[in-house]
């Protein structure tokens, strides 16, 4: 038989009540939902354009009109942060989907095949794990060229090894279970066992890892943008916003610090949610 995935169970009234005692988790969900709203419909959250500015209002401090102040060209920094959510989150989603898909496939082949195939694949995975992920992403995007899509591809490639190792370990644990041996005894072929028993029961931990990787990918995409590997100016991108204000931190600190705080809050919120999801998956 196939053991059901250990995914989070539907919320009951009791579990909804438990959320009241976890204000940080509730706040994290609200932050993520707001940021998703920024990415989907930025015009609902700000009336300013992320591209047009007023040079007469250059480096205006935070106020009721300009929540994050303005940059050197008089552009509203809150508007640029809101519109930048689409760029950063799109790259993050593409990166995580790429790493998840390829990593699951590589880990499945390695764990299910065993022998020399497993050894060869995992030695290659070890090589990728030995290289700092940000450095690997920088190398990939340098080869492919500077753009948001290439940043997403680079971050995804740098994360494949982690997914592959987790998937392989789960596959090795599943293939030793009695129900897998019973399936072979009943005449089910290797592909049937893989599709009906191994894959469904090995995915729970990989899905939990994907939730954790979202925050990591956001930070990686922003880091590459900060270093100049991502979207070119004047495109609003979170890492680029921090980079544009770094030369003026001493006299106009809000130009870099406030977009940086917004980025940090989103990353922390996603990590808090992923931790909660991993706990639920283990129950």
DSSP 30-89: HHHHHHHHHHH-GGGT-SS-SS---GGGTTPPS-SSSTT-B-TT--BHHHHHHHHHHHHH
Residues facing 76 on adjacent strands: 70
Helix (H, G, I), strand (E, B) or coil at 9: coil
70 phi/psi in degrees, rounded to 5? -125, 165
Does residue 48 sit within a domain? no
Does residue 47 sit within a domain? no
Q: Give 173's Cβ-side CA count (13 Å radius).
A: 13
Helix (H, G, I), strand (E, B) or coil at 230: coil
Does residue 63 sit within a domain? no
Measured on CA atoms in the order 16, 20, 25, 31, is the torsion positive or negative? positive
Does residue 4 sit within a domain? no
What letter would DSSP give residue 196? I
Does residue 6 sit within a domain? no
Give the chain's domain count: 1
Please state the pTM of the whole predicted model: 0.83
The pLDDT, as a whole number, for residue 12 is 46
Does residue 1 sit within a domain? no
Task: Write out the chain's pLDDT in tens, 283 residues.
Answer: 444 444 444 444 455 455 556 888 899 999 999 999 999 999 999 999 999 988 888 899 999 999 999 999 999 999 999 999 999 999 999 999 999 999 999 999 998 888 899 899 999 999 999 988 888 899 989 888 888 889 999 999 999 999 999 999 988 888 777 777 777 777 776 777 777 777 788 887 788 788 888 989 999 999 999 998 888 888 899 999 999 988 898 899 999 999 999 999 999 999 888 888 777 656 6
Does residue 59 sit within a domain? no
Q: Which domain holds residue 29?
A: 23-38+70-282
- Where is 102: in which H helix or E strand? helix 77-113
Does residue 50 sit within a domain? no
The pLDDT, as a whole number, for residue 1 is 44
CATH at 89: 1.10.3720.10
The pLDDT, as a whole number, for residue 234 is 86
For the chain, the straight-line distance linking the first and the last C-alpha, in angstroms and rounded, comes to 20
Nearest to 65 by CA among 48, 84, 41: 48
Q: Tell me the C-alpha distance between 53 and 66, whole Å.
A: 12
């Amino acid at each position: 038989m196939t053991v059901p995935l250990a995914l989070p169970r539907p919320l009951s009234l009791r579990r909804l009540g438990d959320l009241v005692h976890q204000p940080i988790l509730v706040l994290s969900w609200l932050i993520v939902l707001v940021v998703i709203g920024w990415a989907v419909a930025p015009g609902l959250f700000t009336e300013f354009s992320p591209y047009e500015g007023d040079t007469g209002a250059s480096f205006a401090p935070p106020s009721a009109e300009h929540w994050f102040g303005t940059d050197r060209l008089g552009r509203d920094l809150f508007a640029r942060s809101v519109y930048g959510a689409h760029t950063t989150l799109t790259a993050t989603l593409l990166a995580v989907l790429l790493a998840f898909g390829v990593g699951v496939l590589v880990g499945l082949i390695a764990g299910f095949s065993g022998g020399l195939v497993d050894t060869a694949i995992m030695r290659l995975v070890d090589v990728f794990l030995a290289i700092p992920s940000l450095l690997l992403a920088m190398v990939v995007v340098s080869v492919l060229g500077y753009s948001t899509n290439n940043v997403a591809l680079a971050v995804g490639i740098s994360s494949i090894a982690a997914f592959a190792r987790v998937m392989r370990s789960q596959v090795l644990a599943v293939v030793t279970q009695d129900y897998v041996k019973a399936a072979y005894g009943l005449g089910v072929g290797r592909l049937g066992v893989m599709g009906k028993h191994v894959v469904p029961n090995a995915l729970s931990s990989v899905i939990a890892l994907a939730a954790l990787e979202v925050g990591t990918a956001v930070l990686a995409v922003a880091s590459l943008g900060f270093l100049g590997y991502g979207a070119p100016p004047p495109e609003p991108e979170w890492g680029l916003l921090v980079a544009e204000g770094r030369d003026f931190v001493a006299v106009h600190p809000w130009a870099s610090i406030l977009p940086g705080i917004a980025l940090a809050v989103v990353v922390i919120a996603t990590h808090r949610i992923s931790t909660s999801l991993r706990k639920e998956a283990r129950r």
